[in-house]
A and B are shown apart, each in its own frame.
Chain A
Amino acid sequence: MRFRAGIENVTTFFRIMQSVEKLQKKCIIKFTEENMHVICNSDANEGGIQVWSQIKIDSIFNNYRIQSNSNNEITVNLTCEAIMGALRSVSTSSGVSNSASGSSYETDEVIVKLAKKNDQAVLNFEITGTTAGGRKVKIGHDVRIEVMKPVDVARLSEPMCPEPDIHVLLPSLQKMRTIVERLRTQSDLLAVRASHNGCLRLSINTESVKVDTDWKDCTIPQMMKEGASQDSADEPPPDPEQLFSVLVSVKSFLKFLSSHVVSTTTIACVCQNHCLILYVYIGDVADAGGVLTFYIPAIIDDE
């Protein structure tokens, strides 16, 4: 089992870990020849929110080399905090807050590799840099990992979801977060609704207050058609007024919104009475650098 790569885009890597860390302390990272998958699917996860992501190797790494007996794939289980700590030591001119590191040196290269120290598998981060005085600096971080057995890896599976009822392009996640944070103080449940005329509505409804927050003219991508090909093609166009809605936990939704640090474009899919799926695109959509997929299960209200 061999793994060695240079990290080119530390900021993005750091931000992905940052958004994932809000969900659970440990996560699974699966390296394949083309992609890096960051997975959060712990049962202990509050509210049952899951993240399945797929990030192109090229958008983060360079000189990427991987080798293993199981189809050249390596799956590891690690603590988010530890990997963030290692990445924080990398001084970059933009993005990552590295006030802790003091950034008294310029980073030249970051190498990550799979290693074994004292019978313990680790991901070794090696950061080389140059100080202002021109001296070479070398920083090493060992992140303890647990390499997962192929049997366990095979058992990992993405949640099954029905064909979404509607897709909608979300407005700025940061703005949404301000609003949802206020709503959280009033209610535990949040209804996410969208209609084909571009209306997105976040609602709460409690004994003392009812709030509807509406965004008009959201883009509704028409991607669902191709999937629905098995149905009769001459189906009437959907009613533009009809709102498709799903009830989710406000806390879970806020956890997803913390991914605003990494997002540029986010598409939400409503599967009525089943779940809310959120595709958070990393970098420009056109680059197809990667996508974080959040699954938030619906809460079925018996009322």
Chain B
Amino acid sequence: MSQAPVLKASIHDVRYFSALLRGVNFANRATVTVTEKGLVVVVEESRTLLGTAYIFSDVFDEFIYHPDTAGDQASQQQQQQQQPPGEEIFSAFEIPLNTFLEILNGFGSAGGSASKKSGRFKAWRKPGDESEGHESDGNAGEGEGDQEGGNANKKARTGPFSSGSERKTGMRLTYIGSGYPLAMILAEDAFGPTMSCEIATFDAEPHLDLPFDSHQMVLKIIFKSSWLRDALSELDPSCDKLTFIGNPPDITDAGAQTARQRQRALLRAKPNFRIEATGTFGNTEMDYPNDREVLESFECISPVSFSYRFSHIARTMRALQTSVKTSLRIDNEGLLSLQFLMPSPMPRMNSGGVTSNFIEFRCLALDEEV
């Protein structure tokens, strides 16, 4: 092919990149969309759950995108369809995400140094971090993944500068165009081995589209990811249903004179935000007070209650573990949108106004009538 490759990207330390991808690694087939701005990785499950990782180009050291205008017909058509004036140009393909991640961690240094893993992980753990309970629920493979995710997370938070002599995997990625494999070269250092691989790509199939109508939004909460993470990891994996309940904040405080009355009113009042899990062995209810300490923002106009399959919500755990802040939104149809803000790869970039990478999950509500 005489044309320049559609995508050329390189990165000196793949840990952050793989932590982002690991967040949506719950089904093997992922659709990758390349645009000027970066990568969008979409994974879908049972036509109900949609996980999307937004990885902006500044994650990479080098990111060169050449829209494949002279490419083959399939992508041309796609581009014509999807390209009303003003719309971005993009190229899309599908890859086996699990394989991609496994290869990315080929030297065992994409998810933190493997050799020191266990020891470090404990050391970095913050009090109240309940992730361990969750890990033991999954099978061995998953547990490992989680642990690495957690590790990468801690690493990302403290920034790459604190980890001086750590082993790092560098990567160079090339995608020539539709019909070509995704080529990758990995190396740890100049003396060590190099790994070159080609991952088969597939034509992107149209995936589930779950548009979230922000005008019809009935509940919007922004809170620290740890508040949700702790709640979810507390739950028994045998649960099958998870319900999010929101009630508008009480304004009837005016009548209460004394502290006691106020307290009583508080007890009588409906919870502002409640997570309820239903399983074979009983129910679990968790209430969040409408306190700035806990819920950074809480918007709810009328009482809402929507249920979701617990196994779907549990899919978000890996992304939750890495993320710092969560936005939870539900629209009037019950469509849940969970956005997880990922820590910036370099702390100093935060102030520079660099767009933060995030992972979004959308999930359809269970039909209560059935």
Contact = CB atoms under 8 A, between A and B. Distances in A.
Contact of A209 (B193, B194, B198): B198
A182 B106 contact: yes
Interface in A148-196: 171, 175, 178-179, 181-183, 185-186
Nearest to B28: A208
29 contacts: A171-B193, A175-B192, A175-B193, A178-B107, A178-B108, A178-B114, A179-B106, A179-B107, A179-B108, A182-B108, A183-B106, A186-B99, A186-B102, A186-B103, A207-B200, A208-B99, A209-B198, A210-B197, A210-B198, A211-B195, A211-B198, A212-B197, A213-B106, A213-B196, A214-B193, A214-B195, A215-B192, A215-B193, A216-B193
A275 to B, nearest CB: 24
B5 interface: no
B199 A208 contact: yes
B200 A213 contact: no
A186 B200 CA distance: 13
Interface residues of B, number: 19
Contacts of B99: 186, 208-209
Interface of B: 96, 99, 102-103, 105-108, 114, 181, 192-200
A219 to B, nearest CB: 14
Q: Is the interface of A mostly helix, strand, loop or mixed?
A: mixed
A185 B101 CA distance: 11
Contacts of A182: 102-103, 105-106, 108
Interface residue range, chain A:
10 to 19
Nearest to B202: A208
Contacts of B200: 207-209
9 closest A-B pairs by CB: A211-B197, A178-B108, A210-B198, A215-B193, A213-B195, A208-B200, A182-B106, A208-B96, A212-B196
A229 to B, nearest CB: 35
B106 A211 contact: yes
A213 B199 contact: no
Contact of A210 (B105, B107, B181): B181
A171 B194 CA distance: 13
A214 B106 contact: no
Contacts of B105: 182
Nearest to A204: B197
A175 B198 CA distance: 22
Contact of B196 (A179, A211, A215, A216): A211
Given A179-B195, A182-B105, A213-B193, 8 more contacts: A182-B108, A185-B102, A208-B200, A209-B103, A209-B198, A210-B197, A214-B196, A216-B194
B143 to A, nearest CB: 15
A214 B181 CA distance: 20
Contacts of B96: 208-209
Interface string A247-264: 000000000000000000
Contacts of B181: 210
B197 A209 contact: yes
Given A207-B200, A208-B200, A209-B96, A179 B193 contact: yes
A262 B309 CA distance: 51
A182 B107 CA distance: 8
B204 to A, nearest CB: 16
B309 to A, nearest CB: 28
Contacts of A181: 108
A181 B144 CA distance: 14
Interface string A210-252: 1111111000000000000000000000000000000000000
A153 B361 CA distance: 65
Contacts of A179: 106-108, 193, 195
A182 B195 CA distance: 12
Question: Taking each of A175, A179, A209, A216, which has the highest tally of chain B beta carbons within 10 Å of its own beta carbon?
Answer: A209
A180 to B, nearest CB: 10
